[in-house]
Amino acid sequence: MTDRPTGEAPQARPRQRRASKPFYKRWWVWTLAALVVLSATGVFGQTEDAPETVEASSTEEAEPVTVPDLVGKAGDEAKDELDDLDLKADFVDESDEDRSVILKSNWKVESTSPKAGAEAEPGDAVTLTVSKIDDDQESAEEKKAEKAEEDKNAENEEKVDEEDKKAKDESSKEKESESESKSTDDDKFDFDYYQGEVTVQFEIDDNFTTGLVATGAKQDTIAALQAAKAKYPDYKSIVVMGSGPTVDKYGNKDNSYLFSVRYTRDTVEKIDFDNSALIDIWDLRDAGMVNPDLDK
């Protein structure tokens, strides 16, 4: 048995601590740094069987599109169709006013460039030549008014034509009637027409006495006026000339005009030929001469 020294018990020596290493010298710091580098470079975790990523080529060409038929459509409808095809719409006013196309629904497509059926690349612009719908309505109203005026004029012309035709038919019937009743007179008379004046010549019939010759010549003058009026309805004046045999004081015989009388249209239209036996036709003349031997 060991004797223990008496007195105070010995104290335990304090335990010395080792100095800590700087953090950058520790192993786990370098291990972590290596993992970060490997991860950033894509080496860590990559296997041989990993599929390769193929990026789509940015130079791949887009397929062309066909320009649709937009003529007659409203501007907003045309633009929507072009938008669906990835085409741009450029609006141009067809009038000389060069107005801006703002509310596209108020405009109508008149033509396109390129035309319908042509091919264009996505992103290309299509020029839409448009007209204002209000202008079309005004133009339609103007055309309607013009057509109404034309129809009215045509109706009036047709009415006038019918009246002219009726008048001509009546005149023709009158001429035919007078021609039938005076066919012998027409054979007797020679007519000449110049600038509205009708000249009628005939041979005076010989008779037993000068009075009877004058009476016959007056009746022929009335018949000549009627025949000239019917033959030339647009006459302005009528000249009636009668010729017959004459003997001068020396006993010389000749065939010369015994009377030449002129009547204006106004005078002829006043004569009532149904009662011509009651008038002296030579007294109604506007100008001319009558042989004194006949005018007794």
Residue 86 belongs to domain with CATH number? 3.30.10.20
Q: Is residue 55 part of a domain?
A: no
Here the tokens at position 288 are 């001319």
More confident residue, 3 or 90: 90
In this predicted structure, what is the pLDDT of residue 245?
A: 80
More confident residue, 264 or 147: 264
Q: Is residue 277 part of a domain?
A: yes
Here the tokens at position 163 are 């009246």
Position 16 pLDDT exceeds 50: yes
209 and 131 share one domain:
no
205 and 123 share one domain:
no
What's the pLDDT tens digit per position in 18-38? 555 565 566 666 777 777 766
> Does an H or E element contain 287, and which?
strand 287-290
Q: How confident is the model over 87-98, as a mean pLDDT?
A: 88
Q: What's the maximum distance between 2 C-alpha atoms anywhere in the chain?
A: 230
Here the tokens at position 140 are 């339609």
Q: How confident is the model over 179-205, as a mean pLDDT?
A: 81
In this predicted structure, what is the pLDDT of residue 1?
A: 47
Position 50 pLDDT exceeds 60: no
Which residue, 238, 230, 226, is CA-closest to 175? 230
Q: Is residue 27 part of a domain?
A: no
Angle among Cα 274, 276, 280 to the nearest 5 degrees reads 165
Rounded Cα gap, residues 34 and 39, in angstroms:
9
Tell me how far CA of residue 11 lies from CA of 5, 8, 14, 105, in angstroms: 14, 9, 9, 107
Q: Is residue 173 part of a domain?
A: no
Q: Is residue 160 part of a domain?
A: no
* Number of domains observed in the structure of the chain: 2
Q: Is residue 188 part of a domain?
A: yes
Q: How confident is the model over 105-110, as a mean pLDDT?
A: 92
In this predicted structure, what is the pLDDT of residue 42?
A: 59
How many angstroms from the chain centroid is the CA of residue 21? Answer: 105
More confident residue, 176 or 188: 188
285 and 204 share one domain:
yes
Position 218 pLDDT exceeds 60: yes
Rounded Cα gap, residues 149 and 229, in angstroms:
39
In this predicted structure, what is the pLDDT of residue 221?
A: 95
What pLDDT band is residue 191 in, cutting at 50, 70 and 90?
A: very high
pTM of the entire predicted model: 0.39
In this predicted structure, what is the pLDDT of residue 94?
A: 87
- Rg of the chain (C-alpha set): 63
In this predicted structure, what is the pLDDT of residue 150?
A: 84
Rounded Cα gap, residues 67 and 117, in angstroms:
5
Domain boundary (74, 102, 135) is at 135
Determine what percent of the chain is predicted with pLDDT higher than 70.
Answer: 72
In this predicted structure, what is the pLDDT of residue 187?
A: 81
Strand partners, 242: 202, 259
What's the pLDDT tens digit per position in 266-280? 999 999 999 888 889
Q: Helices 210-231 & 133-181, crossing angle to 10 degrees?
A: 160
Q: CB–CB of 208/267 below 8 Å?
A: no
Q: Is residue 38 part of a domain?
A: no
Domain boundary (97, 115, 135) is at 135
Least confident stretch, 124-128, 179-183, 272-276? 179-183
Here the tokens at position 123 are 């992103």
Tell me how far CA of residue 181 lies from CA of 113, 178, 188, 199, in angstroms: 79, 5, 13, 21
Position 161 pLDDT exceeds 50: yes
Domain that holds residue 280: 183-290
Q: Is 117 left (phi over 0), alpha (psi -120 to 50) or beta?
A: left
Q: How confident is the model over 212-217, as a mean pLDDT?
A: 90
